[in-house]
Chain A
Amino acid sequence: MASKPPDISSDTLPVLEPGHTFASITDKISSIVLTGRTPLFWYISFGIGFLLVLLLLFCITAVVSVGIGLFGVMIPVAWGWAIVNFVWWIGIGHAGTLISAILLLLRQKWRQSINRFAEAMTLFAVACAGIFPLIHLGRPWFAYWLFPYPSTMGIQPQFRSPLVWDVFAVSTYFTVSLLFWFLGLIPDLATLRDRATRRVPRFIYGMLAMGWRGSAVHWHRYESAYLLLAGLATPLVVSVHTVVSFDFAVALVPGWHSTIFPPYFVAGAIYSGFAMVLTIAIPLRKLYGLEDFITLRHLKNMAIVMLATGMIVAYGYLMETFMAWYSGDIFEKYMMMNRMFGPYGWLYWVLILFNILIPQALWVRSLQTNPWVLFFIAIAVNIGMWLERYVIVVVSLHRDFLPSAWGMYSGTIFDYGVFVGTIGLFVALLFLFIRLLPMISIFEMRELVHEEEARSE
């Protein structure tokens, strides 16, 4: 390869640092899992996560045994933190499928070192999300009433309701993400089976790999199935947050009843998802020395996706404000004035700062490859997206049509406990995953090595 002047355009930043072979990639990634020594930071991170999981269990027990009155929800604000957190977690889940499915169909090679843990992140985020509507039911032991089954009570779910659509969308999303993730894992589980030296891990990975032996005929069918799953997951990922937005948009509450909700929710979901992938990837690549695989090129590309989806979200805010004025509807106009300058007004401006203003720094090229700056912006976007959902859910509800029915809302200690607890659950599951399964897809990295070799010849 001819030497080029150093610049940071995406052509020169490699998706894989040179000098790697099939063997070095395999050994490096599988050694993270198969090593007998667990690093200290793993114990610390998992330990913190585990303590928070205990907090989560405590709070859930309290809320289920006493009732959701422990959450601050009351008329007019009957959807509080629980729904905010649900939408936030579901949104975060969207990046995993986007990276693994849409970028696969678009033949983006840079997806290959981040897809595995982004998919795992999706599963864990959806699992955290699923907890909230369940507790929020008030009587979670009747959750199965949401599914159509031959009930002796002779009743059935109401399929005209977006809340029932949501049940189907979220459970389908979780199932398909799990299948996609596990299908991707099978060849790597076979690698771990062959690399493991001790009996127990060899047996467990061997069972999970199901006898995968890398046959050409198997690979042929496998690739076909993988591609089809990606093709199925692509419209699915768009549909899930669309359905979540229907929960709001189909209602008549000012600030909810809006046709821009579906696209703006999907963009917001991808935005927050990429922010979370960056939040996780930046420390992990450092801690595990994976800078060769998760290169600056990945960080830069994710930063650009974040900037692009962030601009769509900004357009959504702009249009909501414009339509409130243009509609001439006094309730819509009041909703927007109240959102900006009412008792919760400061939240709106913090949200604009975190979601719209701070990420504009990503226009500066040198900042796109600065891990510290990216980490900071990703955290800001995570917080900003949470505030966005809070503003949509709580601020719209607290003052709707009749001033006599207005009220104020704030979360309670149990709201904080459950929310922080799910973050703990997410961290704990993520670290378990990193310890027990290859966090980077080994066989796809071998493919990448092969392609890079073919290209340089």
Chain B
Amino acid sequence: MARLPIYGLMAEFDSPEALLEAGRRAFAEGFRRMDAYSPFPVDGLAEAIGFHRTRVPLIVLIGGLLGCIGGFYLQYWVAVIDYPINIGGRPLNSWPSFIPVTFELTILLAALAAFFGVLALNRLPMPYHPVFNVERFELASRNRFFLCIEAADTNFELERTRRFLDEIGSLGTYEVEP
């Protein structure tokens, strides 16, 4: 891909409602490659800019199943195959005694999957990202809300997109260095 002269255009808003409305209008206008930035999760914002489903639950489910099956098999292998000893005449595969550890390992692997899954899907850690080049963007973690339309979007055209962002109530529109 050819290197674009700018990463995109960023518009600033002062309330979550304004950002939500702007996101909806930009999506209706046909923009697809964009992202909204807010200091706290805003209900429906991801959906408004066209992001509907997340694979986090699936990853957690797989982690949990691995922990459950692997945890039980670990104990089965230890108690029946690798180190069989007779404890008070109990069967080697005394499965009710294996449930607590199976449960703990299910939770452990599911939780690890949730944590590392969300980081991986979000592509974090990411030491550099163009949006940080906008000076005002440091307010995205305080009290300001931003919508960034990327230059890679097929509908993007610098002057027209700038006019569009001003129209939908941007308090300030900034060019984002790549």
Listed in ascending order, the chain A residues whose CB lies under 8 Å from chain B are 21-23, 26-27, 148, 154-160, 162, 164-165, 168-169, 172, 175-176, 179-180, 182-183, 187, 190-191, 193-195, 210-225, 228-229, 232-233, 235-236, 239, 243, 246, 443-444, 446-447, 450
Number of A-B contacts (CB under 8 A): 191
Taking a contact as CB atoms under 8 Å apart, the answer to whether A176 and B107 are in contact is yes
Given A164-B101, A165-B100, A219 and B107 touching (CB < 8 A)? no
Cα separation A217 to B112 with both chains bound (whole Å): 21
Taking a contact as CB atoms under 8 Å apart, the answer to whether B118 and A232 are in contact is no
- CB of B76, distance to nearest CB on chain A (Å): 9
Taking a contact as CB atoms under 8 Å apart, the answer to whether A22 and B107 are in contact is no
Given contacts A159-B101, A187-B141, 4 further A-B contacts (CB under 8 A): A159-B98, A172-B107, A187-B40, A228-B57
Question: Chain B: which residue is nearest A160 at the CB level?
Answer: B97
Listed in ascending order, the chain B residues whose CB lies under 8 Å from chain A are 16, 23, 35-42, 45-46, 48-49, 51, 54, 56-57, 60, 64, 74-75, 78-79, 82-83, 85, 87, 90, 94, 97-98, 100-101, 103-105, 107-108, 110-112, 114-115, 117-119, 121-122, 124-129, 131-132, 137-143
13 A–B contacts from the bound complex (CB under 8 Å): A26-B39, A148-B74, A158-B87, A172-B105, A179-B114, A195-B138, A213-B132, A215-B37, A217-B49, A218-B122, A239-B100, A246-B100, A447-B40
Taking a contact as CB atoms under 8 Å apart, the answer to whether B104 and A220 are in contact is no
- CB of B149, distance to nearest CB on chain A (Å): 13
Nearest 5 CB-CB pairings of A with B:
A210-B125, A22-B143, A220-B46, A211-B126, A225-B118
Given A157-B78, A239-B100, A221 and B111 touching (CB < 8 A)? no
Residues of A within 8 Å of B100, CB to CB, are 162, 165, 168-169, 239, 243, 246
Given A168-B101, A176-B111, A446-B39, A225 and B138 touching (CB < 8 A)? no
Taking a contact as CB atoms under 8 Å apart, the answer to whether B101 and A165 are in contact is yes
Taking a contact as CB atoms under 8 Å apart, the answer to whether B131 and A213 are in contact is yes
* Residue from A27, A162, A216, A224 within 8 A of B23 (CB atoms): A216
Q: Report whether over half of chain B's contact residues are helix, strand or loop; otherwise say mixed.
A: helix
Given A148-B74, A214-B37, A216-B42, A160 and B83 touching (CB < 8 A)? no
Cα separation A182 to B118 with both chains bound (whole Å): 13
Q: Report whether over half of chain A's contact residues are helix, strand or loop; otherwise say mixed.
A: helix
Residues of A within 8 Å of B137, CB to CB, are 213
Taking a contact as CB atoms under 8 Å apart, the answer to whether A216 and B40 are in contact is no
